[in-house]
Amino acid sequence: MADIKGYNMPDDLYYHEEHSWARVDGNKVTVGMNDFFQKEAGDIVFVDLPEEEDDVSQGEVCGKIQSRKWIGKLVAPVSGEIVEVNEDLEDDTSLINTDPYGKGWILVIEAEELDDELGSLMQGDKLAAFIEKEIQRAEEEKAKA
């Protein structure tokens, strides 16, 4: 597990700049929202899940996640067909807050062009630099409020 400035960002995952994460298992990719997102959002109160069998493209908004503060976008980190959604979230949206990389997963995509697309996602040093910029941006927004 990698800790970046107090945020838990597991090393084995890939990260999209809209804060979704991707866990790759063959051509199946489990997707959720990262620790930075859930901490900034606060208590998640509603998740608008996409439908199974929907096709998504990398970077496409495929759902919404609402907290008491705001509505965030669920962005597909890879392209493919949604083969599973986490129906447990319909009963308990707080799983995204309490276990974002485990029980709080959101959907599974059967990826089409995985090798091409993983290169545009972040890990390691690139991720650490991105999170530092996001922390700075969040602090500037809070200072304006």
Mean local confidence (pLDDT), 95-120: 95
Burial class for 87, CB neighbours closer than 10 Å (0-12, 13-18, 19+)? exposed
Global pTM?
A: 0.94
Q: What percent of the chain has pLDDT over 90?
A: 89
How would residue 1 be classed by pLDDT, with cut points 50, 70 and 90? low
The pLDDT, as a whole number, for residue 89 is 96
Phi-psi region of 80 (alpha: psi -120 to 50; beta: other; left: phi over 0): left
Please state which architecture CATH assigns to domain 3-138: Beta Barrel (2.40)
